[in-house]
Amino acid sequence: MTLITSKRHRGAHDAGPSGWFVAPALVFFVIFAVVPLVGVIALSLANWNGIGAITWAGFANWAKVLVDPVTGNALVVTAKIMVFSYIVQAPISILLGAFVAGKQRYRALLAVFYFIPLLLSSAAVAIAFKALLDPNFGLGAGLGIPALAQDWLGNPDLVLFVVIFVIAWQFVPFHTLIYQGAVRQIPASMYEAARLDGAGTIAQFFHITLPQLKYTIITSSTLMVVGSLTYFDLIFILTAGGPGYSTRLLPLHMYLTGFRSNDMGAAAALGVILVVIGLLLALMLQRLGGKDRSANQTEGA
Amino acid sequence: MTATQTRAEPRTAASAPTPRAASAGRSPEASRGVGRPNFLAGLGGWVWLAIIILPVYYVVITSLKKQSDYFSTNPLLPPTNPTFENYALVLENQFVRYLINSAVVTVGSVIPILLVSFMASYALVRGKGRFINGANTLFLLGLAIPIQATIVPIYFMISKAGLYDSLLALILPSIAFAIPLSVIILNTFMRNVPTELFESMRLDGCSHWQMLWRLALPLTKPALMTVGIYQGLQVWNGFLFPLVLTQSPDNRVLPLSLWAFQGEFTINIPAILASVILSTLPLLALYLVGRRQLLSGLTAGFGK
């Protein structure tokens, strides 16, 4: 079999490295990711308060979770945050990426500051914004503009937009960095040709930069959309899901159900829903991206 | 010259970037954007700078204020008499311990992540067979699983294993959840190592183990940097595992300590913000020293 596969074969047998090289990674992944994945399905069929005995519950958790209006609300909040934060983040990241890809000195200097949020933990970001958005001792009071001295985190009509803004503040830098790298890989000759044809900056952006970024846009979008299922810590500290249930997105709802209300069975059922959404999204984006991505990977190198 | 011709020109250049085009990209006058200054972009750039820098500025100046000044002075003006007493208060409250815990968990996770992902990637790219294909598919699927979703069974397993409230409880699942992305980033680089190099080493009688360390390791170093930096940041800044899997202050890591300080200091906002700054300092120092490597390393594997 090995003889057939290697064409430039010069006498040595190469069966490829043994599967044992994969074993350590596989063991870790199976024990702490695959087993929990099965476990979350099993626990969704059980009663457990986190400490005591585990008993069979059948589909009681599912019946409870699926009719609970809080679950429906959590799904809506999750979808809103996913869609709005994508609409905000994607254009800003692309524009900033193209901006800092330029060679001007001042842009390089600005970029140094742009990337600072990359270093901060969600906990740090949430705590900083909580203080900054305080109506009495924060931004609004500092600038003396009453419109900015709102109870940003206590107003159910505003809080979702605040959360989306803070998410953008934290995650745009990473995507900017991805786009910066991608824009720099676009051959300069393409821009020269466009300039000779009289294309302005804006025309160059839409006819060269944007089409050339196609695959990067897919990668970045996948990370953004799937990533929005993980904005747990930021929102947990910033609003704890409140006021009321207005920012209680699915992962947070699951955590609070399991570890605050001690209903691990119901939390596991919510976990299953989360897994299914994650898989569906990834599958959908994969379809959207098409199968030519491997071809692009060598081209861009 | 018709419009269709002009539009067709860039497309051919895209499909076959010639060496000439690549070298032209390095000459200063050819680089993009340097033509007419783009005022609109410049304006947007400065606005975004303000958005990024304002919260940072606010946190820094507030952390230097006395608590009484916090309530009485303008929130956006720097303190007239800056004080470090907030920092002293944070340091007195076991901060160094949390810092060490974070360092232990990060190093203890990143080294195994790099080691097992690197070995796996070598076999996944160079090897063949059903077992290896299966593993590849499994890791690809793993990318789509949100960690949060499995936190309940992980909590269950960690408590049953008697690891609850230990640093090891944070390290083990952190390694597992980092593997899929790490392996996939490493794979793209591993594929670019020319097959001929492996074959000539093979003819010299090298084992796969030797090829792994002497050939694959040096040639995939940029990808290993990417993985190390990215996953290091993820683990260092991680909050969910510490929140669910640890309890005692002895095993507290930095992000969790910020949250705990917030509960302890309640209305002493300057002290809480001082803890935010202190927790960021190690990474900020790293950023100042090796910004270029950090940033290029962070995305070298993603740009592909």
DSSP B231-268: HHHHHHH--HHHHHH--SGGG--HHHHHHHHHHHHTT-
Judged against a pLDDT cut of 50, whether residue A300 lies above it is answered with no
Contacts of B31 in chain A (CB under 8 A): 102-103, 188
Share of chain A residues as helix, strand and coil, in percent rounded to the nearest 5: 70, 0, 25
Cα distance between residue B236 and residue B104, in whole Å: 10
pLDDT at A256: 93
In a domain, A48, yes or no: no
Phi-psi category of B33—alpha, beta or left, where left has phi over 0 and alpha has psi -120 to 50?
left
C-beta of residue A227 within 8 angstroms of C-beta of residue A81: no
For residue A133, the domain's CATH number is 1.10.3720.10
**A201–B38 C-beta distance less than 8 A:** yes
Are B262 and A127 within 8 A, CB to CB?
Answer: yes
In A, which residues are within 8 Å of B138 by CB distance?
26, 29, 34
Q: Please state the rounded mean pLDDT for residues B15-22.
A: 39
Chain A: closest CA distance from residue B11 (Å): 8
Q: How many residue contacts between A and B have a Cβ separation below 8 Å?
A: 376
Is a pLDDT exceeding 80 seen at residue B287? Answer: yes
pLDDT for residue A153: 85
pLDDT digits (tens, 9 = 90+) for A71-106: 999 999 999 999 999 999 999 999 999 898 888 888
Q: Check CB contact under 8 Å for A29 and B139.
A: yes
Q: Could you tell me which of B167, B186, B165, B166 has the C-alpha nearest to residue B113?
A: B186
pLDDT of residue A290: 59
Our separate counts of H helices and E strands in chain B read 16, 0
Instruction: Report the 10 Å Cβ neighbour count for A129.
Output: 26
- Residue A146 domain-assigned (yes or no): yes
Q: How far is Cα A158 from Cα A172, in angstroms, rounded to an integer? A: 21
Q: A78-81, long-range: CB within 8 Å, 24+ apart, which pairs?
A: A78/A228, A78/A229, A78/A249, A78/A250, A78/A277, A80/A160, A81/A160, A81/A163, A81/A164, A81/A167, A81/A228, A81/A231, A81/A247, A81/A249
Would you tell me how many other CB atoms lie within 10 Å of the CB of residue B92? 9
Q: How confident is the model at residue A287 (pLDDT cuts 50, 70, 90)?
A: confident
Q: Is A213 contained in some domain? A: yes
Residue with tokens 């002493």: B268
What's the confidence (pLDDT) of residue A108?
Answer: 86
User: Would you say residue A3 has pLDDT above 50?
Assistant: no
Tell me whether the omega of the peptide bond preceding residue A211 falls within 30 degrees of 0, making it cis: no
A23: closest CA of chain B, how far (Å) = 7
Task: Give the nearest chain B residue to A11 (CA atoms).
Answer: B203
With CA atoms as reference, the chain B residue closest to A300 would be B304
What's the rounded Cα separation, in Å, for the pair B183 and B202? 24
> What per-residue confidence (pLDDT) applies to B53?
92
The answer to whether residue A67 is domain-embedded is no
Amino acid at B301: G
Interface contact flag, B21 A181, Cβ < 8 Å: no
Report CB contact under 8 Å: B152, A40. yes
Handedness of CA B149, B153, B157, B163 (dihedral sign): positive
Domain extent for A85: 78-300
The answer, yes or no, to whether residue B7 has pLDDT greater than 70, is no
Contact B143 A282 (CB under 8 A): yes
Distances (CA, A) of A192 to A96, A164, A301, B17, B38: 21, 38, 21, 14, 16
* A241 belongs to a structural domain: yes
Overall average pLDDT of the A105-111 stretch:
87
Kindly provide the ipTM of the predicted complex, given to two decimals. Answer: 0.85
Q: Is residue A285 in a domain?
A: yes
Query: Do the Cβ atoms of B10 and A207 come within 8 Å?
Result: yes
Closest partner CB to A36 (pick from B20, B54, B153): B153
Chain A residues whose CB is inside 8 A of the B35 CB are: 195, 201
Domain boundaries, chain B: 39-83, 94-299
Give the one of B41, B142, B196 whose C-beta lies nearest to A29's C-beta: B142
Q: How far apart are the CA of A156 and the nearest CA of chain B, in angstroms?
A: 23
pLDDT category at B11 given cuts 50, 70, 90 is very low
Q: What φ, ψ does residue B47 adopt, rounded to 5°?
A: -60, -45
**Candidates B30, B156, B258; nearest CB to A43:** B156
In chain A, the number of structural domains is: 1
What pLDDT, on a 0 to 100 scale, did the predictor assign at position B302? 63
Q: What is the mean pLDDT of chain A?
A: 84
Smallest Cβ–Cβ distance between A212 and the set B14, B139, B196 belongs to B14
Paired sense of beta strands A46-47 and A55-56, if any: antiparallel
Is residue A35 a part of any domain in this protein? no
Beta carbons of B303 and A185 less than 8 Å apart? yes
Q: Give me the long-range contacts of A113-116 (CB less than 8 A, separation at least 24).
A: A113/B49, A113/B52, A113/B53, A114/A173, A114/A176, A114/B48, A114/B49, A114/B52, A115/A173, A115/A176, A115/A177, A115/B287, A115/B291, A115/B295, A116/A173, A116/B52, A116/B56, A116/B284, A116/B287
pLDDT digits 0-9 by tens, B102-160 = 999 999 999 999 999 999 999 998 888 888 888 988 888 888 778 778 999 999 999 99
In the Cβ-directed half-sphere of B189, how many Cα atoms lie within 13 Å? 25
pLDDT score of B17: 39
Residue A1 banded pLDDT, cuts 50, 70, 90: very low
Q: What is the pLDDT of residue B36?
A: 63
Output the pLDDT for position B279: 92
Token pair 């910066």 in the structure block, residue: A180
Count of C-beta atoms within a 10 Å radius of residue B230: 23
Which residues of B are less than 8 Å from A129 in CB distance?
A: 55
pLDDT at position B152: 92
Query: Is the Cβ–Cβ distance between B14 and A187 less than 8 Å?
Result: yes
Residue entry with tokens 């290896």? B132
Q: Is residue A49 part of a domain?
A: no
State residue A286's pLDDT score: 74
CATH architecture of the domain formed by B94-299? Orthogonal Bundle (1.10)
Give the model confidence (pLDDT) of A150-160 as tens digits.
788 888 888 99
Distance, CA of A231 to CA of A117 (rounded, Å)? 15
Contacts of B20 in chain A (CB under 8 A): 189
